Amino acid sequence: MDKVEIFNNVDGYIASVEFLSGTPEMQRFNFHRGKVQPFQCAQRKETDTHVYWSYTEAKPRFENNRLFYSRNNKYGFTYDKAKKDFKFWFGRSIHEIPPLMLHDVFKHFNIDWYGNLSPSLASLLNATMVKNMIKGKITNPRDYVKAYLKTSPYRKSGISPELFYKTFNTGNVQSPKSYRKIIEYSTDANHALEFIAAQNNSYINHTITDLYDQAAVLDRRVNPKWSEARMKEVHAEWTREIMSVEVKSIQQHEYNYPEVALPDGLEIISNNYELFEEGTTMKHCVYTNYESRIRSKKYFAFRYDKDGIRATLGVDKFDSNNATFSQMYGIGNSPVPIDISDTMKEFIKTDYFQKWCNEQFNALPSREREPADAEFWL
């Protein structure tokens, strides 16, 4: 006999049954009074040959003098007992599926150890690993890490599974995926893991993250054991090298800003040539890291020059949110006097400037807007 269990939002399901059991008059009354609400629920159905999981969205409708729910199964799995085959419905990525669905799958197959993984390691789960966990090919956290490290880009990197496990099972670091570039573009992947562990989830210096971005562009490798001074030195060298390549192929592009009233000493950078020149003159990577975002009106760069103080100001514009102060640095990423940066912050908050930024962002077709990934030119 088939066995069905609702394992999420049981109350919503029971409420829908109660509304459906009412007389046509009460169904009409409750529906048009707005008492009958849409709901979602997750259920498991087991037969002699299969186990099914589904996540259903149900919307109430009243037609032909009766209440009913239109249902849409958005996510689901099927397990074939004979073949021991586990399939995902609708070609969904595992990261689209509500975690509660997979938690019930693991509970059904007594895979208790996955729930004890740190969020960092748990984030590595993929469909192939789920299938192998169900088949009993992955039975513990170490096997789980080894299975992940067999996937690209790590399968030939020589990473120690134990070191990888210890680095990311502390609960204090982000997903390993956040550090992929550091691992992939280091001279030694295990030294990269030691470097990541030494940060203890503290903020990684802008110069270091940008250095790895540059390594990816130039196909170079960073030695994680370099001193901070050495990393800054290499960062400056690679910045100049990238800019020298860029300038050969650059085509001038005007950002087409309308007139804007700015504080004394501040001037907006109005095209990519000016931005390139700013990055070269100021010895930072505002051009290499920000030009695409500036084109998409998600970032605005300004040149500051007053009373002997020379600096570059960056302003973030994330979607429909307010424009915000991003950073302001002098030559070679040197700090600027606090009173100057505070003055810029106050100006950015003004209604006048916020309106101007919104007008630039809204004027650009949505298809030309790029995702806003916060970066730093430091």
pLDDT band at 373 (very low <50, low <70, confident <90, very high): very low
Q: Which helix (H) or strand (E) holds 27?
A: helix 24-32
The Cα–Cα gap between 57 and 36 comes to 14
* Residue 262 CA, distance from chain mean position: 34
| Residue 200 clears pLDDT 80, i.e. is over it | no
Residues 123-137 have a mean pLDDT of: 95
Q: Are 312 and 328 in contact (CB under 8 A)?
A: yes
pLDDT band at 201 (very low <50, low <70, confident <90, very high): low
3-class secondary structure, 267: strand
Q: How many CB atoms lie within 10 A of CB 305?
A: 11
| Residue 371 clears pLDDT 70, i.e. is over it | no
| Residue 330 clears pLDDT 70, i.e. is over it | yes
Q: Are 282 and 330 in contact (CB under 8 A)?
A: yes
At residue 155, the pLDDT reads 86
Least trusted range by pLDDT, from 14-18, 173-177, 256-260: 173-177
At residue 244, the pLDDT reads 79
Which has the higher per-residue pLDDT, 375 or 194? Answer: 194
Q: Are 243 and 279 in contact (CB under 8 A)?
A: yes
At residue 15, the pLDDT reads 96
Q: Rounded to two decimals, what is the model's pTM?
A: 0.66
Q: Are 299 and 284 in contact (CB under 8 A)?
A: no
In 81-171, at which residue ranges do the beta strands (DSSP E only) sit? 85-88
At residue 365, the pLDDT reads 65
Amino acid at 335: P
Positive or negative, the CA dihedral 305, 306, 308, 309 is negative
| Residue 129 clears pLDDT 80, i.e. is over it | yes
| Residue 4 clears pLDDT 90, i.e. is over it | yes
Q: Which two tokens mark 126?
A: 């993929």
* Mean predicted lDDT score pLDDT of the chain: 90
